[in-house]
Structure 1
Amino acid sequence: MTEFDDWFAANDKFLTGAVAWLRERLEAARTPEARADTTATTQEPKAFFSRRTARPPAMPAAAIGRPAPAAVPMPLDAAEDQDDPPPLIMLARRLGMTAFERNVLLLSVAMELDTRIAGLCARVHRVPAMDYPTFALAMSVFDDPGWDAISPERPLRHWQLVDVVRTGPEPLTSSRLRADDRIVSFVKGLHHLDERLRPILRPLPKTSSDDLAPSQQSVAEEVTTGLRRVSADGAPAPTVLLLGPDRACKRLVAGEVARIANLHLFTLDAEDLPSERSDLESLSRLWHRETLLAPVGLHIDAHDVDRRGAAADSVRRWLRERPGLVLLDVREMWPDVTETAVVPVDVARPMPAEQLSTWQDALRASVDDVAPSRLAGQFDLDLTNIRRIAHETADVVGEQRLTALWRACLLHSRPVLDELAQRLDPKATMDDLQLPDPEKRQLEQILDQVSNRGKVYDGMGFRERMNRGLGISVLFAGESGTGKTMAAEALAHKLDLLLYRIDLSSVVDKYIGETEKNLRRLFDAAEGGGAILFFDEADALFGKRSEVKDSHDRYANIEINYLLQRLEGYRGLAILATNRKSSMDTAFLRRLRFIVSFPFPGVTQRTEIWSHIFPEQAEAGELDVARLARLDLTGGSIQTVALNAAFAAAAMGSRITMPLMLDAARAELRKLEKPVNESDFRWLELAEGSA
């Protein structure tokens, strides 16, 4: 037999003796003299109920019941002296129950354990239908009864150990007492979460100390040290605030705290808390009771909860019961979270050096020495995901291993971002860009800085001296169609990173505070390092702050200020594109690493664009590229002309000819409201026809 089997058998033996002692008590209470004295006592209930003392007057010995025979010793008092007492005794200790309250609980529990108890209760009541325990019966059976035992403030009802089932105008003392199912199981030695808590609570997977980086491990140890200090002083456990933007890392720290403290950790979503005050307080008290029954802790996920909203109010009411150890996951400090002590700790992803070391250990000699630094410099992952990615790609060997690792890191970044922004599939390359040499050199510098961030920030020590501006923010300024989006695609293609275009309709919200919340989720999701954020038409978001004349101006300025802070703190590559640079707030311009101007293409650039506008599969006739290059069009408009001409050729079943190109060009110029010289178009058409 195992140690648990021995303990379970010992508890069964204890309960067998306790129930036998209880039966003897009930047998003694139904003797003729006991019945007579009990009847005499209950003939004058007014004198008893009118007293406001904590306990009623002493009752006659016969009414209380004769002591149990020597053959059945009372096992409860003997168990009081044990270092590891049975669950019933342990429960009485933890909840501060008197001996009488403990016996009332035993009477209620025994109804579920021994079928003979119901008959004995009916005989003591002298009413066959009353085959259940009542408070009046307990008063007549057990020593030292106390009226306050049935009050809502005492443990029996405060902790919902017993339910008082009242029917109609029935007096409280003659109402049925029913033991709570969870308490019956606990007394029996069976441990399980209360059924009423199961819909909102779920176990948090256990963590290993290897899952945490040394910096995170030190945070967990700091928390547990503080908890031990508070526990030694006898004060209630404080609420631990886990601060930071990374939910996964905070859960790892919470799991490690529970592991060190030897607690089973459950998690609760703040949004799942009931809104009704009575329901909330009842569930909170049930959970507090769980903390007294078993070594458990609670992790509340309020990561995305507004601390001024209804869900936050529910969390505060929940915590008023002081329900044991609570680790509250929030993004930022809640100054008024609870009346008890609060321990705030900042939790971050592993430091770059810790990620690099983990990559090196996970990959060992399977890749070149540069690969771990490239992965650690680009991606910001926790240790669990680093090891998982290394394991999943272990079958790939040779030069393909780094490619497989890189792709796996990108896939890790995708799920959340796909919900918040539009992913673009980069098709353009750096060779496709037709820009003046100075602008091309700027793009090359952007590529170099993204690729060598790890070398500069960590290898040269800049990260230790900077806490902001570690990302690369770029502004692409120029007219519509001058190649800003193509340049963003070319950078993503060259860097082999995901490219996400931010849809303003999914970010900007008319409700106050929602825009900041959407932007926060977006930036947090992109912090993993596998994506480039592309804000097209950025002046709509990053416009100048205005003079505050009303509340709308004030909240609009708050949104811009928040953007300024997040842009400066963002550690990835963010590209802002605008065709109205003058509308941008100057504070944004100061925070930008590069400003790349996309000029209107000249004849030389337009000639190159026209020369490579059609794919190899497209059947194009002899085109006068020099003539087409003289048309005052941007690269985006040239692409539109070529595409419209191709559709016209497909409809006619012919090659793409110069007349079709001219028709499409004329339509594009008119669409853009630019002057059209018809004589030039007729001359070109006649020349094409004669050829």
Structure 2
Amino acid sequence: MTAAALHPLAEAFAFVRAWVEGAQSTPEPARTSADVLAEIFGLDAFERNVVLLGAYAALEPEGSERIGQLHGDPMQNQPSFGLAAATLPGAHWSAFAPASPLRREGLIELDRQNALAGTSFSLAEPVLFFLLGEPVLTEELAAIARVPVAAANPAPARQRFATAIANRIAADRDEVLMLCGGDSVGKEQAAALACATTGRALFAINALTIPTATADIARFARSWRRDLQLLSGWLLVEASEVEDRRALLLFADLLRLPFLLSAPEAVHIGGRSALRLDMPRAEPAEHAPIWRAALGPLAARMNGSVERLSNFFNTPPETVATIASDLHSADTAYQAAKRRKKRKTAVAEPDFEALAWNACRQFARPRMDDLARRVASTSGWNDLVLPEPQKDVLRAIAAQVRQRARVYGQWGWEKRSGGRGLGVSALFAGPSGAGKTMAGEVLGAELGLDVYRVDLSSIVSKWLGDTEKNLRRVFDAAEEGSVILQFDEADAIFGKRSEVKDSHDRNANIEVSYLLQRFEEYRGLTILTTNLRGNIDQAFLRRIRFIVDFTFPALHERRAIWEKILPTDTPRDGLDFTRLAQLNLTGGAIRNVAMTAAFFAADADDAVGMGHVLSAARLEYEKTGRVITDAELSGWPR
């Protein structure tokens, strides 16, 4: 029978009145919302009648007064267990036991001041509203829950994810659906759309709102279990990386309903059956329409940069809208300034492409800044002193990153490769100070992308699975901003493998395989650096796309470094770059010597001269236990 065929609840009150007045035989009341409630929670006829009695007392004007008369005390106007057992047909005391549906599901609330028969009860407020046809969350839950609203025109990736979620909801299985990935807003939007599609209400809470005391968790779970069933709803719990899982695990166990769990990665959920659903990555072609819709007429004035933004940045629609709003504000200010100065001086039009590009980088930084150190990319090709073959490799790397969307997407190489090997990976090998870090900075400046240095030794963990989790966080955060990831000390994890002897060796191999997999999947540039290329396993080297060897700089290269290293504002006096190049130093060491010499000169209120450099060089040599040779000082002024 449909909800439209239900009779008004008030019609059943006539039967309740007859029961409490002592009628010996009455027909069964017509079907009302109380019968729907009984079907949801598995109540028998007597338990359904208890609900009707509670509703009679709460909603019928004469109800509470008549119950007070039956109790012989006008103040005792709530029904009691004893009154229900004595007056309602089919009575049985088990209906009031703690394990009964009435109490287990929180349908009734008790006044425990009296003995069992005298215990009075009332219907929980959400039950009353359900009986009236207006189901609501209880006040406690409504205070912490959000009601996500599905977007009118969701992004294609979110639409695909919503379809996957909706299919699982429609399957009606007792499982926890784990929504994994970093786009929490996107996952919530997809969940809202899935619930709207399947006719379910959706409520979202943060896992931090789950109480910590066991008894409180039990009450919290019971309230959600009751209200979700009354509302035909689903719950979305958003869990972060650092939360204590104990309360979440107990809540999941006690809820005993399917629900959605949003987390960056899968969470162990105890004995509950769980299914992982990964938020799909939006393709570059899907981003462009979002940008155009947000930019409106401004998109046509950005010289094709919409496609470039779409190809490089995995920017969420909400962020796109914010950036577009800022660009529109900049354009409004420009147009106003142009009108004011129409007959005087010209007003420069804002570089909307540069504004949008930098905004995308800035919005992606907060997540990465918590995981790695950002390196300022201020160096250019002219600052990098390397042999031309190595520079050619670096230029090839930049070209592949710059044109990846065209070649992989538009020219069909992604389909041909089956989606494998789309990342651009490089190994920079050479002694410390030979220019590996600067090369990464040059690529960042060339491509207009942020460079983040990741210390692999701080990511590798002795605990099983933690290394993968740490790496996943880094790569997932990097995807949004298309950042250049530079992993230092690659031999810490890519060292030559020995025979697998124990579980530690097996785990290490699993971690290396996962890292290589992410290198190949990451749609950006990853750089590995090592001081000793010979320590890297050849099997790993074969899976790296580019290898650049940074050798100790030759004499002419050292001279070029000395000529470039001093800022133009630094005063100098008699510096002989040919003699300076005789010092057997790497580029990094030359920088240290030049800076120390500048401090010596400044402290002496002097310009930087050969003597200051010599003093600084002796300090640099002492750091590594070396001594400057006579050959290195040949021809130096004495």
TM-score by length of 1: 0.79
The answer as to whether partners of 1:377 and 1:452 remain within 8 angstroms in 2 is: no
Give the deviation of 1:586 after TM superposition.
2.6
1:205 alignment partner, SS class: coil
1:40 match: none
Residue identity opposite 1:210 in structure 2: N
Q: Distance in 2 between matches of 1:132 and 1:221?
A: 48
CA gap of 1:670–1:685, structure 2 versus 1, over 3 A, is farther
The answer to whether the 8 Å contact 1:281/1:317 transfers is no
Q: SS at the partner of 2:495?
A: coil
One-letter amino acid of the counterpart of residue 314, structure 2: D
Q: Does residue 1:352 correspond to 2:284, yes or no?
A: yes
Q: Which residue of 2 aligns with 1:32?
A: none
Residue 139 (structure 1) aligned with residue 76 (structure 2)? no
1:283 partner amino acid: F
Match of 1:183 in 2: 127
Give how far 1:524 is off.
0.7
Encode CA deviations 1:350-395: one digit per residue, 9 max, x unaligned: 2222223433454455335532221222112344443443343234
Q: Which residue of 1 aligns with 2:117?
A: 173
TM superposition shift of 1:304: 4.6
- Consecutive unaligned residues of structure 2, counting only runs of 5 or more, are 332-348
The one-letter amino acid of 2:118's match is S
Q: Which amino acid aligns with 2:186?
A: C
1:317 to 253, 256, 259: 253
Task: Give the Cα separation in 1 of the matches to 2:504 and 2:464.
Answer: 9
2:226 aligns with one of 273, 289, 297: 289
Q: Are 2:443 and 1:491 equivalent residues in the alignment?
A: yes
Structure 2 residue corresponding to 1:594, chosen from 521, 538, 546: 546
Aligned twin of 2:345:
none
Q: Does the residue aligned with 1:630 lie in a helix, a strand or coil?
A: coil
Residues 605-684 of structure 1 aligned to structure 2 (within 5 Å):
605-677=557-629, 681=633, 684=636
Give distance in 1, aligned partners of 2:396 and 2:498. Answer: 34
Amino acid of the structure 1 residue aligned with 2:230 = L
- Rounded to whole Å, the distance in 1 between the matches of 2:410 and 2:547 is 27
Name the residue aligned to 1:471: 423
Alignment RMSD? 3.6
SS at match of 1:407: helix
Moved more, 446-455 or 157-166: 157-166
| Aligned AA (1:317) | D
Secondary structure at 1:266 match in 2: strand
SS of the residue corresponding to residue 202 of structure 1 reads coil
Cα separation, 1, equivalents of 2:439 and 2:624: 23
Query: Helix, strand or coil: the match of 2:547?
Result: strand
Q: Secondary structure at the match of 1:482?
A: coil
Cα displacement string for residues 55-114 of structure 1 (whole angstroms, at most 9, x for unaligned residues): xxxxxxxxx44689xxxxx9x934x2xxxx5x5454345334445333322333454457
Deviation, 1:305, is 8.7
The structure 2 residue matched to 1:254, chosen from 191, 210, 218, is 191
C-alpha change, 1:440 and 1:339, in structure 2 (3 Å) is closer
Distance 1:238-1:539 versus aligned 2 partners, 3 A rule? closer
The change in CA–CA distance for 1:600 and 1:554 in structure 2 (over 3 A counts) is: same
Work out whether 1:327 is the aligned partner of 2:269: no
SS in 1 for 2:145: strand
User: Is 1:435 aligned with 2:379?
Assistant: no
Whole-angstrom distance in 2 between the partners of 1:459 and 1:265: 39
| CA distance in structure 2 between the partners assigned to 1:346 and 1:662 by the alignment | 59
Secondary structure of 1:502 counterpart: strand
2:306 counterpart (367, 372, 396) = 372
Which residue of the other structure, out of 137, 143, 159, is the alignment partner of 1:217? 159
Q: Which has the larger radius of gyration?
A: 1
Query: Following the alignment from structure 1 to structure 2, what is the Cα–Cα distance between the partners of residues 264 and 639?
Result: 63
Structure 2 matches for 1:27-38, cutoff 5 A?
28=21
Q: Which amino acid aligns with 1:599?
A: T
2:200 alignment partner in structure 1: 263
What is the number of residues matched between the two proteins?
Answer: 614
Report the CA distance shift for 1:218/1:443 in structure 2 as closer, same or farther (over 3 A): closer
How far 1:610 sits from its partner (Å)?
1.2
CA distance in 2, matches of 1:555, 1:210: 44
In 1, are the aligned partners of 2:148 and 2:204 still within 8 Å (CA)? Answer: no
Deviation at 1:152, TM superposition (A): 4.2
- Of residues 611-620 and 379-388 in structure 1, the stretch that sits farther from structure 2 once superposed is 379-388
- Aligned counterparts, 1:564-579, within 5 A: 564-579=516-531
The correspondence for 1:461, drawn from 412, 416, 419, is 412
Contact kept in structure 2, 1:349 and 1:382, CA below 8 Å: no
Distance 1:315 1:118, change over 3 A: closer
Q: Is the 8 A contact 2:450 2:483 kept in 1?
A: yes
Aligned to 1:106: 52
Percent sequence identity is 36
Asked whether the 8 Å contact 1:421–1:502 carries over to 2, the reply is yes
The residue type paired with residue 205 of structure 1 is P
Q: Residue type of the partner of 1:178?
A: S
Q: Residue 36 of structure 1 aligns with which residue?
A: none
What is the rounded CA distance, in whole Å, between the counterparts of 1:562 and 1:480 in structure 2?
Answer: 27
2:176–2:272 CA contact under 8 A, matched in 1 = no
Q: 1:409 aligns with which of 333, 344, 360?
A: 360
Shift of 1:513: 2.9
Contact 1:545 1:560 in 2 (8 A): no
Q: What is the CA-CA distance between 1:484 and the residue it aligns to?
A: 0.9
Q: Work out which of the residue numbers 374, 389, 398 in structure 1 matches 2:323.
A: 389
Q: Which moves more between the two structures, 502-511 or 345-354?
A: 502-511
Q: Corresponding residue for 2:339?
A: none
CA contact (8 A) 1:470 1:570 kept: yes
Match of residue 60 from structure 1 = none
Pair 483,311 (structure 1): closer, same or farther in 2 beyond 3 Å: farther
Letter in 2 for 1:158: R
* TM-score, scaled to structure 2: 0.85
* Aligned with residue 148 of structure 2, among 202, 205, 215: 205
Quick one: distance in 2 between partners of 1:333 and 1:646?
A: 54
Q: Which runs of 5+ in 1 are unaligned?
A: 1-6, 29-63, 69-73, 687-691
Q: Relative to 1, partners in 2 of residues 1:681 and 1:346: Cα closer, same or farther, differing over 3 Å?
A: closer
- Deviation of the 1:239 alpha carbon: 4.8
Letter in structure 1 aligned against 2:149? K
| Paired residues of 2:158 and 2:187 also in contact (CA < 8 A) | no
- How far apart in 2 are the matches of 1:275 and 1:99? 37
Contact 2:482 2:523 in 1 (8 A): no
Show the counterpart of 2:102: 156
